[in-house]
Every structure is written in C-alpha cells, then in structure tokens.
Amino acid sequence: LTGAAYRLIAHTETVLEALELAEIDLDEARSTGLVGTIRLVAFHSFAVGLMASVSRHLREIAPNVTIKFTQLEPDDAIAELLARRADIAVSDEYPGYALKPRPGVLQSVIAKESIRAYVPEQFASLEEAPWAMEPSTADAGRWALEVCRTAGFEANVNFISPDPYLHRSLLEQGMAAAFLPASVTPAPTCRIRVIDELPDTMHRRIVTLIRRGSEHSPIVAACHDAIRAAVAESQADPASHAD
C-alpha cells in the first residue's frame, strides 16, 4: 500500500472506534441496567468444554444479558468479528504461530492450556503409529507436525480433522496417536502412554478478540468476566492439566 493508503487506514480505525463508543453511549442512555445481547463466536473445543459454563456465569453476572453463540473455526470467527456480526471472538494460538495482529482489534490472552501427546501401547514406535491431527492448513496442524519433526520423525497422519474429540476417540480405541489439550484429556483406563520423547512444556493459549472501542462496553466486559470465570473453574478441576 502507498503511504496515503496507510494514513487512510489509520483514520478508518479511529472512525470505527468512535462508532463503537457512540453505540455504547446510546445503549447506556437507553437502559437502566445491564440489558442487551452479546454475540460470541468460538472454536469447537471451547464450545464443547466451556460454553455452558460461560452462559451460566454470564447469567449470574448479568441476568438481563442474552448470549448468542456460534461455533466457528478461528479464521471464520475473526472474520465475523471484523464484519461486526460478532462482539467477541475466542481463538487459540500455538508456540511459533501467534495470531496475526489486525488493525482495530484488541487481543487478550485469558489462559494457557497444556498439551500432551499420547500413543496407543501396541505401537512400538512413533514412526509406526498412525496419527490423528488437525489439517496442515491450520496452525494447530502445522505446529504438531513441526513438533514431531523437531523430535526426529515424520508423523504418519492417517486421520485429519479439526475436532480434538475425534482425535481422543481414535486414541482411546487404539487407532491413532494424538496431541490433546488438557481439556480433552483421555480416559485414564485406556491402554495408552504419554509420549516422553516429545517436550513436556507444550501448550496453547486461549485468546479473546474484540473491536477497539468495545472494551468500554459493560456488556462486553461482563461476557469477558464470564469467560474468565469459566476458564478458571475448568482449570481448578483436579482432573485438568491446564497451566
């Protein structure tokens, strides 16, 4: 882009932030309390593991706020946020694959969740084992492949899906090795082992994204509080390995 174009983008961000603040001011003038709708978009494992808890905490914090949720993969969730069809997007990011900064968007890290790699006991080597992974076009898939290569082997990826619960099911049934975040830990009775050859410091970060200016919205703040409370509750569970 030309210098003039970059200056125009800067002005656009200022205008959009002013619009967010104007909407917040009008909403506060129209209501006598915390009343309204918050539109939340987030990825699959967050939806399955935490969405009910987020809704419960928001009801306790702001009983007159309605939450509308749509499950979307990170890129689609951020697109909805930028298109003003969502108020908060929740995404995850992996070491070496931080989310790209976007003009007019504020990012907040709300948690770090540990990841462990598991393999069914019947496989003698990691090279022999079939793996379940996210697509190599996704940051999670690229990160997992890089971890394996750094450990000195090329993963034989037989099962490709963005759903970590499918990965866990394949692992528990002895069909595939898998990387699983702490919130998707396999059943302790399964004949599997933790892969000691891989780092024990693997993790992902859970990130919220909002449009600049909307951080001043009481409804957005209430939903943020509900998300943090749900995450803290899940990490306080003794069965969780989250950091």
Same fold, 3-112+204-235 and 114-203: yes
Q: What is the pTM of this model?
A: 0.79
Q: How far apart are CA 217 and CA 219, in angstroms?
A: 5
- CATH for 3-112+204-235 (3.40.190.10, 3.30.420.40, 3.30.750.24, 2.60.120.560): 3.40.190.10
If one counts every other C-beta atom within 10 angstroms of the C-beta of residue 92, the result is 20
How do residues 16-36 score in pLDDT, each as one tens digit? 555 555 565 555 544 546 899
**Sign of the alpha-carbon dihedral angle for 50, 52, 56, 59:** positive
Give the per-residue pLDDT at 180: 96
Could you give the 3-state DSSP secondary structure of residue 160? strand
Domain boundaries, the chain: 3-112+204-235, 114-203
- Could you tell me which residues come within 8 angstroms of residue 178 by beta carbon, excluding any fewer than 6 positions away? 117, 118, 131, 132, 133, 164, 167, 168, 170, 171
Give the per-residue pLDDT at 234: 86
* Closest by Cα among 80, 72, 73 to 105: 80
Give the per-residue pLDDT at 188: 82
Architecture of domain 114-203: 3-Layer(aba) Sandwich (3.40)
How do residues 120-135 score in pLDDT, each as one tens digit? 999 989 999 999 999 9
How do residues 46-85 score in pLDDT, each as one tens digit? 999 899 999 999 999 999 999 999 999 888 999 999 999 9
